[in-house]
Amino acid sequence: MSIKKSVVLFSGNGSNLKNLIEKSEDIKDKLKYVAAFTNNPKAGGINICHSLDLDVCINNDKNIDSELLVFLKKHNPDLIILAGYMKIIPAEIVDEYAGKIINIHPSLLPKYPGLNTHAKVLANKDANHGATVHFVTRDLDQGPIILQGKFNVPVDSNESTLKNLTHQSEYVIYPIAVKWFADGVIKMNDGQLYVNNKAIDSPILLLID
């Protein structure tokens, strides 16, 4: 089996990117990280790419989608990992790379797609919160869910507490989902998630304490 090529898209600190690469040793014969792409020339993740010796393509928001397409054509990835990439992937790219794009989102989808998820959890006094890895489809934050990490919201939490706990759950679930992809365990066909070739409709949930 040939080694799958993966690229990572980010807009901010890049802590998920760092965590993914640091935890990729056990899949190095199956998947390699070939390059990263950011829409934010000030993103902290750029330094992480440099320190990890990962080629990074830096753009600003002007013509970002055509730059992204050029980047993808150049690298021809088997897997596109969105790790805090805060731009919407245009429908043409989603369609061209269907089943090859995964995203991590800081909520227990379908709850709280979009922004400000931690504030919404606090405003609604939710007992639980977490993160979701899902395949990307044309509908924002609504593609088939691969894996979720769920935790109890501690008493007296604020946004910073929840952001930190959410990141901790992301660091657990994203490497697992990438490993499943590398191993050929998960696939998406026609908007349906398959695990070991079996159609799965209910989210796979990991409880994180």
The amino acid at residue 109 is L
C-beta of 138 vs 167, nearer to ligand GAR: 167
- 176 phi and psi angles, rounded to 5 deg: -65, -45
What is the C-alpha separation between 105 and 199, in angstroms, rounded?
Answer: 22
Is residue 134 at the binding interface for ligand GAR, with CB under 6 A as the rule?
no
Residues 6+ apart with CB under 8 A from 6: 31, 32, 33, 34, 77, 78, 79, 80, 81, 178
10 binds ligand GAR (CB under 6 A): yes
Kindly state whether residue 142 participates in binding ligand GAR, applying the rule CB under 6 A.
no
105 is catalytic: yes
Count of residues in contact with ligand GAR, rule CB under 6 A: 16
Q: Figure out which of the listed residues 105, 118, 129, 134 binds ligand GAR, where binding follows CB under 6 A.
A: 105
Closer of 161 and 190 to ligand GAR (Cβ): 161
Which one is catalytic: 50, 75, 105, 118? 105
Contacts of ligand GAR in 188-207 (CB under 6 A)? none
Q: Which stretch binds ligand GAR (CB under 6 A): 90-98, 121-129, 166-174, 197-205?
A: 166-174
Under the binding rule (CB under 6 A), the answer on residue 15 touching ligand GAR is yes
Q: Is 16 exposed, middle or buried (0-12, 13-18, 19+ CB in 10 A)?
A: buried
Tell me: does residue 130 bind ligand GAR (CB under 6 A). Answer: no
Among 5, 12, 185, 191, contact with ligand GAR (rule: CB under 6 A) = 12
Among 6, 33, 79, 84, which residue interacts with ligand GAR (rule: CB under 6 A)?
Answer: 84
| Binding of ligand GAR by 104 (CB under 6 A) | yes
Rounded Cα–Cα distance for residues 11 and 88 (Å): 12
Least distance in Å: CB of 136 to ligand GAR?
A: 11
Burial class (CB in 10 A: 0-12, 13-18, 19+), 206: middle
* Cβ distance to ligand GAR smaller for residue 71 or 112: 112
| Residue 95, token pair as written in the block | 């369609």
Catalytic residues: 105
Binding site for ligand GAR (CB under 6 A): 10, 12-16, 45, 83-84, 104-106, 131, 166-167, 170
